[in-house]
Structure formats: C-alpha cells, structure tokens
Chains A and B, each alone.
Chain A
C-alpha cells in the first residue's frame, strides 16, 4: 500500500484497513463479523504463495476465504463481496488496480440494503 501511495494513491473514504501479521491468521469468524457489522465488501490481501514466511499462510487463507464465501452465499450475501488476492509488497500499481476494481463493483451494484424482509 505504501508503494501505491508513492504513486499518488489514496484510499476511498469509508474504507478501513485492518492489518494482520499473516493472512493465514485470518479466521472465518473475523470475515463474517465484518459483514455482520454492515460492510459492503471485504478485500483480503495476502503475500504470494511462494513468498510465505510460514510455508502455508496464504494457502490457508485461500481455504478460509472459500469457506467464508460458501457461508455468505447461504446467508443470502453475494460471495463476490469478499475479494481475495495474493500480491507482493512491491506491486504497488497492481494493488491500486485490484483495489479500484473491487470498489467499482459496489458503485455499480450499490450497497447492501434491507430487501423485502419486514424485520
């Protein structure tokens, strides 16, 4: 992100960054709770698989994201609202592209709003 910032990138308002030591530490419950709190989308970013310091952190994260997506679908939330990309720290431009594309889909499809539920 710092590399992207040097390129003149800044986050959209309403975006919060949650740093974790390793993407393999993310749990299904973390991601689900972000949606439960009303996030429109969650973008999970991790290191490239071959760069992992702990051998299988990114692979593990991929499995967690898959599981979370299945639960989101069952809960009636579109699974594409959970993005997942593995990029290297130096890929500032790539990060910019991924982030822009991820945010754009919400400006097109709109926010998560209450449907016909009368609750």
Chain B
C-alpha cells in the first residue's frame, strides 16, 4: 500500500481543510497535538520516514465521527488504517496496552493445536451443527483479563445464548472459532486478518450454518464488511442479535426494570451500521423502564475511548470520564452498552480517581437476560 494508493482509496484529495473533523474528533478535544486533517497533511508534506514514525497515528480511536461529518466524504479512518499498515512495516507499531496480554491470546489462538473450550456455555442449549451459529469471539478471554474491573464477558455471551434459547433457537458453537481480527485490521495487520478470516469461515461452514448471530458489534462489522473482501462469498449470512430479538420480542416476557436507563451507542453499530433505533426499541420493550437519552446520541455519540488495544493514555481516560459524566447528568442509574469494549472501557474509567460518577455499566444482553421472566426458560 503506497501513500498514493492510501490517498486515492480514502479520497483524501477531496479535503477542503474546513476542520470539521478536528472539531468532531473526541481525541482532539483533549489532545491539541492530534488532528485527523493534520495527520493526512503531515503524511503528504513531511518526508516518508518522519511521517511513519509519528506517534500520533496511534492516537486515533477509529470511531468514525470524522467520516460521518466530513462534507467531502473523506474516509479518514481508512486513511489512518493504511498509514498504520505502512508504519508497522517501518517499525512503528505503537505501544500495546495490558502488557500485550490480548496480543498473546491471539498468538495462542493461532498456534496449530488450538481448540478453544466451550465449557463457559455449560447448561445452555447449544449444538455442534445447525442452521444458526452463535459467534462468541474473545468474550471469555476478556473476562479473565478484565476481572479486576468487574467485567463479565462470559455473562454477555451466556446471556445472548439464553435469549436465543428463550426464542426457541438452539445455536451451534464451534471449538475451532478464533478472534475475528477486528483490532488486527485497524492496527494495520492485514495478513493476520486474512489468516483469521480463513480459519473462522472454514470453522463456521463445517457446522453447516446459514446464519451467524453476533452479540459483539465489532465481530459483526468484520464478518459483514471485511471478510467478504478477503474470502469472497461467505456461504452464510451475518446477523446482529438485536435484529433476531426484534423480530420475536413479543414472544418473550420480561420482568419490570424499575430504573432510569440511558444507552451508549457503539461506533460500529451506530455510525457504520446505522443501527440507532433498534437497541432503543429493544430497551423500550422492557416493562417499567424509564429510558432517557444523552445529549450526544446515535451517530453523534462520543466513543468510549477504545483504541484497538494500542496506546491507551490519559486522553482516553478523559474521553471516558467526560462520557460517564454526561450519562450521569441525565439522572440515569444504569448505562446500557451494546459493545463489550464500551463496557470494559467505561467500567475502567469508573475506577479512575478523577471520576466522581456513580452509575452502573451493564451490557444490553445481560440486562435483557436478567429480566427474562415468564418465557420458556424463566430466569
């Protein structure tokens, strides 16, 4: 990928230098040195060596707010991804967060004799073959890594399968499934994504599935938009769990929630998929729920400060605290998230000493499953 190709692919030549991207960027609000527009400009004006060793290229959250607002429809995040791919080859590969644990889990998944355990889905109805497949992704691994902040990834996965069971769906799961490669993709490791896509698609095809259900927006994004470019026709249809739930939400009975809740839009779901109304419809289907909106919602929602597990800094923390404060100012007691990463990052910020907010961060699937009642499987 040459710089020229990156500019053509992202249509960066259309930039009017209006500065809307910098004004919209959550990182620029707290880090004046960073600007999407200037990053493109620097890459073009500086000599190659200098621009590829710029540490600011790892500051982008790839949240896509600038892409949505750009009047010239420049794909800034796409440019950033291509730039990262080149920077990585030049030896500038960012600083991995969490002591590289997440990277190492990925390495482990790529080892030749890897077969993941599905014991975390114990006592739920799953099968090894079937028309419908459930893709759990890295949830159980994240559970172990983020135990200290009280993140329960396994619970999100289990809740999703429980909701599917309540709808009468018995999803297939596989021991051969690996990470979807979302973070590898956004940090410019396209070869790795190819390997992962190949393994995943083969593993799912072996189960005979025609429909694959996702509870993670990032995995869904990869399967829907990136995998077809890599492996061609998938042979199955990726579906987000909310769509499945919405089709049959009348069939399930829920217990009253009796709480004021607000919702954090996920970047992949709201800005890329345009799924803004679906999660709200599902939330409002719960009895006695007092749903309030934050001021910045839908496509204008502020990112949770997730950074593809590279270069997490004070800036990310400030973005998160800002978002949590906004959520608490609505008077809500529960902040509902749909992306496991939003859940992890906002929970992490809740423990920050600068954060004076008291709010519960709960995943949408966990909230729904814990209020199941009168349905097929009860609580």
Contact = CB atoms under 8 A, between A and B. Distances in A.
B174 to A, nearest CB: 10
B144 A112 contact: no
B100 to A, nearest CB: 4
A101 interface: no
A119 B145 contact: no
B101 A76 contact: no
A33 B107 contact: yes
Contacts of B104: 28-30, 32-33, 36
B117 A76 contact: yes
Interface in B137-187: 140-141, 144-145, 147, 175-176
B91 interface: no
A67 B145 contact: yes
A73 B111 CA distance: 15
Interface in A40-87: 67, 70-71, 73-76
Contacts of A71: 105, 108, 141, 144-145
Contacts of B107: 32-33, 36
A56 B206 CA distance: 48
A29 B113 contact: no
Contact of A75 (B103, B112, B117): B117
B103 A29 contact: yes
A117 B202 CA distance: 11
Given A27-B100, A74-B117, A32 B105 contact: yes
Contacts of A33: 104, 107-108
B312 to A, nearest CB: 16
Given A27-B99, A27-B101, A74-B120, A117 B115 contact: yes
A36 B111 contact: yes
A114 interface: yes
B112 A119 contact: yes
Nearest to A71: B144
A8 interface: no
Q: What is the predominant secondary structure among interface residues of chain B facing chain A?
A: helix
B105 A115 contact: no
A74 B177 CA distance: 12
Given A27-B101, A70-B144, A36 B110 contact: yes
Q: How large is the interface on A (under 10, 10 to 19, 20 to 34, 35 or more residues)?
A: 20 to 34
A114 B108 CA distance: 14
A18 interface: no
B113 A115 contact: yes
Interface in A77-119: 112-119
B19 to A, nearest CB: 40
A38 interface: yes
Contact of B113 (A28, A73, A114): A114
A76 B175 contact: yes
Interface in B64-107: 99-101, 103-105, 107
Contact of A76 (B99, B103, B115, B202): B115
A73 B122 CA distance: 14
Contacts of B370: none
B99 A74 contact: no
Contacts of A30: 104
Contacts of A114: 112-113
A30 B108 CA distance: 11
B112 A76 contact: no
B103 A74 contact: no
A76 B118 CA distance: 9
B376 interface: no
Contacts of B112: 38, 114, 119
A74 B116 contact: yes
Contact of B108 (A27, A32, A67): A32
A35 B101 CA distance: 13
Contacts of A35: 108, 111
Interface of B: 99-101, 103-105, 107-117, 119-120, 140-141, 144-145, 147, 175-176, 199, 202, 206
19 contacts: A27-B99, A27-B101, A28-B104, A37-B111, A67-B145, A71-B141, A71-B144, A73-B117, A74-B140, A75-B114, A75-B116, A75-B141, A114-B112, A115-B113, A115-B115, A116-B115, A117-B175, A119-B176, A119-B199
Per CB-CB distance, the 8 closest pairs between chain A and chain B, nearest first, are A29-B104, A32-B104, A29-B100, A36-B107, A27-B99, A76-B115, A114-B113, A70-B144
Given A67-B145, A114-B113, 19 more contacts: A28-B101, A30-B104, A33-B108, A35-B108, A36-B104, A36-B107, A70-B144, A73-B117, A74-B116, A75-B109, A75-B116, A75-B141, A76-B114, A76-B115, A115-B113, A115-B115, A118-B176, A119-B112, A119-B176
